[in-house]
Amino acid sequence: MNKLILGRYIPGDSWIHQLDPRTKLLASFYYIGIIFLANDWKSYLVMTLATFFMIWLSKVKLGFFLRGVRPMLWLILFTVLLQVFFTTGGKVYWQWGWLAITQFGLSNGAFIFMRFVLIIFISTLLTLTTQPLSLADAVESLLRPLRVLHVPVTELALVLQIALRFVPTLMDQTTKIMNAQRARGVDFGSGNLFQQMKAVVPLLIPLFVDSFSIAEDLATAMDARGYQGGDGRSKFRVLKYHRRDGAAAAGMIVLTVLLLLLRA
């Protein structure tokens, strides 16, 4: 459980850490959007260099990003194999019946692999350099215009804050339950797939019970303190844009221009 990246924040004072969380959130979504402009090895090389430059600016070890790719590795390889065997065109290197490895298949498989890895890297960079509560504040600030349409923005942000806050708590509780089950003879890693899924049942049931108990205690505490929503409430963390946020936006524009020039 201590190898999971979800909900983990690495404290630091790097240039990426000091960016406004709204800037990092918007830049991450924008990056995921423009990565689909890349269609050859030159454009993917530019995206890779830009990604590693941002990782260098964050001063976070590369091992954390590789650890973020590991849970998605089988899905990435499965998608790449589909592209390799079912994309036709170009020189045929190997063929057996309706399966074939072609020049276009290999290139598309490589591009899909790079796209997955870069998206995971940029998403991991967002979570590792942004506190969960700051990320929730950024979502609330960005969704604030939807209040005109009577969207409960404050309540949505509160739900997100609570969910992010209790991810480490649930991880710790899961570890305790797994250790207790192992002490009673449960083996979570042996047997076939069906047996491993069956072994998880003694873990899920007490975890669900504990989750509902935590939710009930939290609701009781909020009600006892007179919580009535976020209208009129002040904030301890006030979000402000700075020059570095403008520099980050300019960098994204330059990256977009480079991709468009390479596509031309």
Give residue 26's pLDDT band: very low, low, confident or very high (50, 70, 90): very high
Compute the distance between CA of residue 214 and CA of residue 196 in angstroms, rounded to an integer: 27
For position 127, what pLDDT does the model report? Answer: 87
For position 227, what pLDDT does the model report? Answer: 77
Give residue 5's pLDDT band: very low, low, confident or very high (50, 70, 90): low
Q: Which residue has the higher pLDDT, 249 or 166?
A: 249
Q: Which residue has the higher pLDDT, 63 or 51?
A: 51
Tell whether the model's pLDDT for residue 3 goes beyond 60: no
Give 198-236 pLDDT, tens digit per residue.
Answer: 777 777 888 888 888 888 898 899 889 887 766 666 777
For position 4, what pLDDT does the model report? Answer: 57
Give 127-183 pLDDT, tens digit per residue.
Answer: 899 988 888 888 888 888 888 888 888 888 888 778 777 877 787 888 888 888 778
User: At residue 158, what are phi and psi to the nearest 5 degrees?
Assistant: -65, -45
Its pTM stands at 0.79
Give 62-115 pLDDT, tens digit per residue.
Answer: 888 888 788 788 888 888 888 888 877 777 777 777 777 888 888 888 999 999
Give residue 1's pLDDT band: very low, low, confident or very high (50, 70, 90): very low
Compute the distance between CA of residue 188 and CA of residue 123 in angstroms, rounded to an integer: 29
The 3-state DSSP class for residue 175 equals helix
For position 131, what pLDDT does the model report? Answer: 86
For position 232, what pLDDT does the model report? Answer: 67
Q: Where are the alpha helices (DSSP H) in the chain?
A: 21-34, 41-58, 62-69, 73-86, 103-128, 132-142, 153-165, 167-183, 193-224, 243-263
Percent with pLDDT over 70 in the chain: 92
User: At residue 2, what are phi and psi to the nearest 5 degrees?
Assistant: -75, 0
Q: Which of 120, 8, 115 is nearest to 55 (CA)?
A: 120
